[in-house]
Every structure is written in structure tokens, then in C-alpha cells.
């Protein structure tokens, strides 16, 4: 379960939270030189040179939502913007404050959003940690990352498929014998016969193994003997 830190503020998200629609991209470095014009509603950032804008390794498209958060800490230009002019060899790019985050009542402590794309910031969530009261384009805004789902890496014995973490099984084990090498969890799952046939091998001197004829526990103590619990649940001492 994802927990979002509660902050004070007057946002409409309940309990001090102020959710915004997701943005496609978020800056991971200061924007190329630009000129800011206006304040609040309709405020723009216009590039000082012609050319298309790339944010976090991705070329922006018209009407993309972009979070600007990496200018100087005292810069009041931070916030959520919409791409109103992409930029080209003959035109500068222009960002305009998003209509859901361009007034004091819409930008409060606890405002948060998710980023859907980007080399560094894709699949992350960000929250405004600047305390109220906030005056848009006067108060410097500071954002802090609160989740990075895309950066989760499966450890030994696990595998990540999209947003799912699972045990990495060797799935080519046959019904009769041990499977070939594969997987890192030490677990094998038969792909033949009825579902639910799993074998676990711990190490050469201690393990649990499913046998072809029912379930058996093979606990190997040492080279002198083996304790076996057969498929009927009976104990057999082979020493």
C-alpha cells in the first residue's frame, strides 16, 4: 500500500492532501534559459532561443503537462505547466501554468502529483513541502519525491514483471526428476501434470523435495544417513 505523507493545507483532496492530475514529465535539471512573464493565471516561461524542448530525456509534445522543480531554490517559477508551444528551429518553446495549479487556492502544502514518463523521474510521485500560506509566483516552491515505483529492483530469488514481484521459479522441471539449472530462488515448479506441484531444494545436506509418487520430505542429515517422511506421512530411518 502506498502511503502519502499528510501535510497541512487547504487542498480539496482531504486530510491536508491536494492531488493534481498526473504530469507526463518532470524536470531533472534546470530548464534552458527562459524568460518568465505574468503571474498566476496565464503565467508563461518562454525560451530565450528557438528550438524544441526536451525534459528528462523526452521531447515534449503540445499540451503535455510538465512539472518544473529544478530551478534555483529561491525561484518562484516552480510548479505544474502545460506545453503551449513546442518550439522549433524558428520558434521558442513556451510553457504556461496549468489551469489546475495557477492560483493561490490551488497550490497548497501537500499538493502532489505522479510523473508517467522520463529517464530519471518516470513512475515517481512528488509532493509540495513548502508550508502555507503560499502566494503563486512569489513563494518559492519546493517539491520532494515520495515514491519511486519504477526503481524497485528484484533481489536474489525474486523477479519483477511490470509492477509485480514474484519468486523466480524454475518452470521447466519435469514430473519425475529434478529440473535443470534455472531461477535463483531454489524453487522449481512442474509445468506438466496437475497444477500445484512444487519442489524446494535447500542445499546438498538439507532439503525438502517433492517426489514423483506423492509428497516426500528428504532431509539429508549427513553422509551417514537420511531421514525420510514418505507420501503416507510415515517416518523411515534409513541409517
Q: How many CB atoms are located within 10 Å of the residue 144 CB?
A: 13
pLDDT tens for each residue of 208-223: 555 555 544 444 444 4
What local confidence, expressed as pLDDT, does residue 141 receive? 97
Give me Rg for the CA atoms of the chain.
29
In which region does residue 104 sit, left (phi positive, over 0), alpha (psi from -120 to 50) or beta (all else)? alpha
- Report the Cα 216 to chain-centroid distance in Å: 41
pLDDT tens for each residue of 13-23: 444 679 999 99
Is 44 within 8 Å of 84 (Cβ atoms)? yes
Cell of 42: 496565464
What local confidence, expressed as pLDDT, does residue 183 receive? 54
Q: What is the DSSP letter of 100?
A: T
Is 67 within 8 Å of 109 (Cβ atoms)? no
What local confidence, expressed as pLDDT, does residue 144 receive? 96
Cell of 85: 508551444
Rounded to the nearest integer, the mean pLDDT of the chain is 77
What local confidence, expressed as pLDDT, does residue 190 receive? 54
What local confidence, expressed as pLDDT, does residue 60 receive? 98
Q: Which H or E element spans position 35?
A: strand 34-37
pTM score of the predicted model: 0.63
Distance CA 139, CA 158 (A): 45
**Percent of the residues in the chain that have a pLDDT greater than 90, as a whole number:** 54
Q: Which residues pair with 115 in a beta bridge?
A: 23, 124
Q: Does residue 32 carry a pLDDT above 80?
A: yes
Distance CA 64, CA 52 (A): 13
Amino acid at each position: 500500500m502506498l502511503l502519502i505523507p499528510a501535510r497541512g493545507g487547504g487542498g480539496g483532496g482531504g486530510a491536508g492532501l491536494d492531488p493534481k492530475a498526473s504530469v507526463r514529465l518532470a524536470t531533472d535539471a534546470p530548464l534552458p534559459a527562459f524568460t518568465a512573464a505574468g503571474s498566476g493565471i496565464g503565467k508563461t516561461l518562454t525560451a530565450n532561443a528557438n528550438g524544441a524542448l526536451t525534459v528528462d530525456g523526452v521531447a515534449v509534445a503540445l499540451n503535455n503537462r510538465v512539472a518544473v522543480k529544478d530551478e534555483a531554490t529561491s525561484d518562484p517559477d516552480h510548479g505544474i505547466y502545460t506545453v503551449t508551444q513546442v518550439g522549433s528551429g524558428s520558434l521558442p518553446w513556451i510553457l504556461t501554468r496549468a489551469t489546475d495549479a495557477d492560483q493561490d487556492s490551488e497550490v497548497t502544502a501537500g499538493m502532489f502529483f505522479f510523473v508517467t514518463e522520463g529517464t530519471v523521474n518516470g513512475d515517481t510521485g512528488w509532493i509540495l513541502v513548502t508550508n502555507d500560506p503560499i502566494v503563486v509566483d512569489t513563494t518559492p516552491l519546493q517539491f520532494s519525491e515520495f515514491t519511486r515505483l519504477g526503481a524497485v529492483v528484484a533481489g536474489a530469488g525474486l523477479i519483477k514483471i511490470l509492477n509485480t514481484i514474484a519468486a523466480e521459479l524454475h518452470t521447466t522441471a519435469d514430473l519425475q526428476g529434478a529440473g535443470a539449472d534455472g531461477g535463483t530462488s531454489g524453487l522449481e515448479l512442474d509445468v506438466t501434470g496437475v497444477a500445484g506441484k512444487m519442489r524446494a531444494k535447500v542445499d546438498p545436506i538439507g532439503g525438502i523435495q517433492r517426489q514423483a509418487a506423492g509428497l516426500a520430505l528428504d532431509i539429508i542429515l549427513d553422509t551417514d544417513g537420511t531421514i525420510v517422511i514418505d507420501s503416507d506421512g510415515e517416518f523411515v530411518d534409513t541409517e
